[in-house]
Structure 1
Amino acid sequence: MNYTIENIVQEDWESIANIYLEGISTGKATFQTDVPTWEQWDSSHTRTCRLVARLDDKILGWSALSPTSSRCVYAGVAEVSIYIGKEFRGQGIGTSLLNRLISLSEENGFWTLQSGIIRENVESIELHKNCGFREIGVREKLGKMSNGKWHDVVLMERRSKITGIS
């Protein structure tokens, strides 16, 4: 499949929101129950490091970073979000997006990327491991879904070998 990886623009939002909703519906991609508005999403993610995988006019998946803290000492630490459209999972798009996001994050001064992944989301845990993340712990029964089921969250981290080193 000959897709490109490009920066997100506001016009991509409808497709991004649909892919996000597909993730929500799995019950293992996020604790979110509703897709935010563009304005909510835009204000909660970094201005840089927002990517889509695009095939012609179709968005296949997206990835973006969110700041973990407003404190200046954490300016180089960000939380990863990555979602792949249901019909495109398992085709290497997630690996391409996450690897490009890692490169872009280092270009923009991020030294640590972290992810909190619902334990049942084995595919995402493996994706992160394959892209250089390591498991640093598990937070047990951290989130409760609307159906009353509690879920553990696997904490994963990737430290840059080129940014933030002194």
Structure 2
Amino acid sequence: MYRSRPNNHRGDSSFAYYCLESMAATNSAFSIRTATVDDASTILGIYNHEVATYLTTTDLVPRSLEAQQTWLSERSGAFSAVVAVDGSRGPVVGFASLSPYKERAAYRTTVENSVYVSREHAGRGIGRLLMTHLIEVARDSGFHSMIGRIEATSVASRALHEACGFELVGIERQVGRKFNRWLDIAVMQLML
């Protein structure tokens, strides 16, 4: 099931397959499905914990349940949110989505990913399962490039992106401020 990691170069689609193969054995207990408005409360709990405690998101104010429900109801197609669940109908343990990278039309072939896993389930391959799903959706939808914008000191997020074939393409220096500190943002890219 496991294989050595392929050489990293742009356009090497084997990266996503490496990502998929290397997590398949550990993720048989988890499945992915499209998120519904009924998942809003659990997603909100995962997200707001990150807002209040970590640098995973640059949001400073927790979302309301109404805002989370609206966010979910407005997403469709390739931009639908998905959740990882324990078993086929178990509790939500993580969520992910694609978003347009920029509003201007020239950027329409590039998407940005977001992946969040509950802290209680971190380190169990759920982030990799969600990311692999997003990569497949992006490819199937005809996108050319996927971007991950990550707080630069987030070792786990950077490792997840690297494991799935993303390359570091730049660092945005001190572009945000949270918890009384400046934030650098690592920009990672996968050519689809």
With the length of structure 2 as denominator, give the TM-score of the two structures.
0.76
Kept in 2, the 8 Å contact 1:46–1:64? The answer is no
Please state whether the residue corresponding to 2:124 is helix, strand or coil.
Answer: coil
For the residue of structure 2 that corresponds to 1:48, the secondary structure is: helix
Residues 20-76 of structure 1: per-residue CA shift (max 9 Å, x gap): 112223322011022251355247756424211012330010110111223332222
% identity of equivalent residues: 27
Q: Is the Cα contact below 8 Å between 2:94 and 2:117 reproduced in 1? A: yes
Give the 4+ runs in structure 1 shifted more than 6 A: none
Count the aligned residue pairs: 159
1:41 aligns with 2:71: yes
Give SS of 2:134's match.
helix
1:91 paired residue number: 124
User: 8 Å contact 2:37–2:69 — kept in the other structure?
Assistant: no
CA distance in structure 1 between the partners assigned to 2:73 and 2:29 by the alignment: 31
The equivalent of 1:125 in structure 2 is: 158
Q: Structure 1 30/153 Cα, relative in aligned 2: closer, same or farther at 3 Å?
A: same
Which aligned pairs between 1:122-161 and structure 2 lie closer than 5 A?
122-145=155-178, 147-160=179-192
Structure 1 residue aligned with 2:47: 20
Aligned: 1:32 with 2:59? yes
Distance, in Å, in 2 between the alignment partners of 1:20 and 1:143 is: 19
Structure 1 pair 4–43 and aligned structure 2 pair: CA distance change class (3 A): closer
- Aligned 8 A contact 1:4 1:54 in 2: yes
Indicate the structure whose relative CO is greater, using CA pairs within 8 Å and at least 6 residues apart: 2
| Match status 1:70 vs 2:103 | yes
TM-score, length of structure 1 as denominator length: 0.87
Q: Which amino acid aligns with 1:148?
A: N
Q: Which runs of 5+ in 1 are unaligned?
A: 161-166
Q: 1:88-127 CA distances to partner (integer Å, 9 max, x unpaired)?
A: 0000010111011100111112211101101121100000
1:105 maps to 2:135: no
Partner of 1:125: helix, strand, or coil?
helix
Q: Distance in 1 between matches of 2:75 and 2:171?
A: 24
Structure 2's unaligned 5+ residue stretches are 1-27
Larger Rg: 2
* Secondary structure, aligned partner of 1:69: coil
Higher strand share: 1
1:117–1:78: structure 2 CA closer, same or farther, 3 Å change rule?
same
Q: Structure 1's 83 and 134: CA in aligned 2 closer, same or farther, altered over 3 A?
A: same
Deviates more, 1:125-134 or 1:2-11: 2-11
| Partner SS, residue 13 of structure 1 | helix
For the aligned residue pairs, the C-alpha RMSD in angstroms reads: 1.8
State the distance in 1 between where 2:70 and 2:56 align.
Answer: 19
